[in-house]
Amino acid sequence: MAEVTLSHLSKSFGATKALQDVTMTIPSGAFVVLLGPTGAGKTTTLRLIAGLDKPDSGDVRIAGTSVLQDTPAQRDVAMVFQQYSLYPHLTVRDNLAFPLRSPMIAMPEAQIARRVAEVAEVLRIPHKLDNKATALSGGEMQRVSIGRALVRNPRIYLMDEPLSSLDAKLRADLRIELKRIHHDLAATFLYVTHDQIEAMTMATHVGVLDHGKLVQFGTPREIYENPVSTYVASRLGQPHINLLPAQAFPGAPANAAQIGLRPEHIHVGEGQPATIQRVEHLGDQTRLHLSLGPHSLITLTEPHTLLKPGQTLNIRPQNPLWFDAQGNRIPSPRI
């Protein structure tokens, strides 16, 4: 494993600025998630680290050494893609062994056999080693795809939305598996996603990208509790943060244009009347869809609530987030 440092990294494709002056350090042994919508610059960042693209300016350093002149093979990184990238005519065993038989590594067959067996145990697929790739389920195919990266024991693992093509249950299962693998290997992971749940549950650090710019970097808790803007605040949190005009409640700072309310910021029992529009029972939680005058917002209540649509609740903000007209965070007075 190794620390990876990006310094003032920029990349354009024609008139499109894919990455703009990005500076970020991926600590050795960390699980860093790059979060943002399509077009934010996430995959471009991975490709620049891997050496698949060249930056227009800036530097990429792995373990303290610039790798801009190194080929992808010389950088000793492994990449996992959204699609499985397996050889369908080969068995799982041979798919896992394939990277180790490359001219760059050329590992002896006895060592290959041991390494493949070790990785199969980590991925919990030793019973599938003699199956053809075409005989696997989607989740098993993605495990093998991840395994093709793991066998190499590279300096950093780069993962480009590897779970996005799986169904919800498989995504949840493999999130747990990936976090376990990261813990067991003490490896450095850089993981790209637009899924906030993946970011919150797996990351040690989150980098939020917006149109090629790194707008905030920190722990998931820091990003969630202290977002620098409405854009960042909207990246994390389920349900999404409620953004209302600042004047929806009394006590707004003079330069505030919007108030941001997560469920824990909404105190029920006193304040202004809000009407329940819809009640969503989700098992472990219940979401209340409320209308406050012309404004809509969502909050949470106990799982077995007896509240029904049409009822009225009194609500007030409790330690909310405030944003100016440009969407930037401003200091929060207590109200």
Does residue 172 have a pLDDT over 70?
Answer: yes
Rounded Cα distance, 47 and 22, in Å: 14
Q: Quote the percentage of the chain above a pLDDT of 70.
A: 99
pLDDT of residue 125: 86
State pTM to two decimals: 0.87
Q: How far apart are CA 230 and CA 258, in angstroms?
A: 9
Mean pLDDT of 44-51: 96
Cis peptide bond prior to 303, omega within 30° of 0: no
Q: Where are the domains of the chain?
A: 4-233, 243-330
Average the pLDDT over 86-115 and give the result.
Answer: 88
* Residue 121 pLDDT class (50, 70, 90 cuts): confident
For the cut 90, the answer to whether the pLDDT of residue 137 exceeds it is no
The stretches of the chain forming alpha helices (DSSP H) are: 42-50, 92-97, 109-123, 138-150, 168-185, 196-202, 220-225, 230-233
For the residues of 193-224, what is the DSSP string, one character each?
ES-HHHHHHH-SEEEEEETTEEEEEE-HHHHH
Q: 183: pLDDT confidence band, cut at 50, 70 and 90?
A: confident
The winner for highest mean pLDDT among 26-30, 133-137, 150-154 is 26-30
Report the CATH fold assignment for 243-330: OB fold (Dihydrolipoamide Acetyltransferase, E2P) (2.40.50)
For 5-26, what is each residue's pLDDT tens digit? 999 999 999 999 999 999 999 9
Residue (of 201, 255, 207, 260) closest to 229 by Cα position: 260
> Is pLDDT larger for residue 283 or for residue 226?
226
Q: Which fold has domain 4-233?
A: Rossmann fold (3.40.50)
Q: Which of 133-147, 191-205, 278-292, 296-310 has the lowest mean pLDDT?
A: 133-147
pLDDT interval class at 234 (50, 70, 90) = very high
Taking the C-alpha atoms of residue 81 and residue 86, their distance in angstroms, rounded to an integer, is 11
